[in-house]
Structure 1
Amino acid sequence: MAKQQVSRSIVVHAPAERVFALLTDPRRHADIDGSATVRGPLHGPERLVAGSEFGMDMKMFGVSYRMTNRVVEYEQDRRIAWRHIGAHRWRWELEPLDGGATRVTETFDYSTTGPFAVLYQLAGYPSRNARAIEATLPRLKKLVEA
């Protein structure tokens, strides 16, 4: 694990194209979210591509809010990452494996936040995000394999 990043992986028994199709559909993000913060889509395209903006209805610590995200990394069927007003990123990387399976790695990357990275650490986000990723990946696996 790189410094100022939290990553976890899972093997999904489905091709990368199928996994990527789910990840690039913002209407399905609440279905895979293990943090219980994503409530549903507000606006944006049906399929995310490089530069896409999409809004999500969110709730954390009992407070509802809205967040607009922008896709900042994109490689068809291999990688997608987005960020909102903060500089941190949520990244998904897909590695095709033998037999049609895919290794899926989700990363919370706060290395791009500069001096604010210390605040993320003090607020406990690395461990909180690790738990959320650990809950998200099995949900993704179940949906894609169904």
Structure 2
Amino acid sequence: MDQENVSATLTIAAPAERVFAVLAEPNAHSSIDGTGWVQKAVDRAPLTEVGQVFRMGMYHANHPDGDYQVANKVQVLDPPRAIGWLTGEEKEDGHLEFGGWIWRYDLVPLGPSETEVTLTYDWSAVPQFIREYLQFPPFGPEHLPTSLHHLSELVSGR
């Protein structure tokens, strides 16, 4: 595969500020997830600055431990237009190590009550040694659109 990112776009019937506020809440991420892997926020503070780290409890049947935890580092924070983070892990010594893939949401206001949201998963910075044991993207083509629909339902209170 030559392409090293995938994305999906959905128009959400809500102002960009409200959509962004939901994305900046780690507690909301398990409800947004389209795979069922994201379980719960370990760090619950809202995302407010580049460099902020937040951890999420995860579950994946093919993971050696089943239940595991990821550490995410905010790379993009431009309220209410963009938010994104690298995903990695915290080593036993407390050192954070990131795999090179980033999740990013870009929001374009279409008026006072509509926002075009594009979700992008980019693995272009993943080193070869990780690509040897992980497939990219690690989810099917339905994941990003499903996540955006979950976001829309959460933002609208459905």
TM-score by length of 1: 0.87
Match of 1:6 in 2: 6
Gap runs ≥5 in structure 2:
88-97
Q: Does 1:67 align with 2:70?
A: yes
In the alignment, residue 126 of structure 1 is paired with which amino acid? P
Q: CA deviation at 1:44?
A: 4.8
TM-score by length of 2: 0.81
Q: Indicate if the aligned counterparts of 2:25 and 2:44 stay in contact, CA closer than 8 A.
A: no
CA distance in 1, matches of 2:44, 2:156: 26
Match of 1:83 in 2: 86
Q: Deviations over 1:86-143 (max 9, x none)?
A: 11001111011135210011111011224358548x72x3372532212111111111
- Inter-CA distance 127–27: structure 2 relative to 1 (3 Å threshold): closer
Q: CA deviation at 1:47?
A: 3.3
Match of 1:38 in 2: 38
Single out whichever of 43-52 and 14-23 deviates more from structure 2. 43-52
1:91-102 alignment to 2 at 5 Å? 91-102=104-115
Q: Which has the larger radius of gyration?
A: 2
Match of 2:155 in 1: 144
- Inter-CA distance 37–130: structure 2 relative to 1 (3 Å threshold): same
Equivalent residues, number: 143
RMSD: 2.2
Q: Does 1:110 align with 2:110?
A: no
In the alignment, residue 68 of structure 2 is paired with which amino acid? Y
Single out whichever of 22-31 and 125-134 deviates more from structure 2. 125-134
Runs of 4+ in 1 over 3 A off after TM superposition: 114-120
Q: Indicate if the aligned counterparts of 1:12 and 1:102 stay in contact, CA closer than 8 A.
A: yes
SS of 2:59 mapped into structure 1: strand
Q: Indicate if the aligned counterparts of 2:11 and 2:117 stay in contact, CA closer than 8 A.
A: yes
Gap runs ≥5 in structure 1:
none
CA distance in 2, matches of 1:48, 1:113: 26
Structure number with the higher helix fraction is 1
* Amino-acid identity (%): 33
- Inter-CA distance 145–44: structure 2 relative to 1 (3 Å threshold): closer
Single out whichever of 106-115 and 67-76 deviates more from structure 2. 106-115
- Inter-CA distance 92–69: structure 2 relative to 1 (3 Å threshold): same
CA distance in 2, matches of 1:114, 1:58: 23
CA distance in 2, matches of 1:10, 1:117: 31
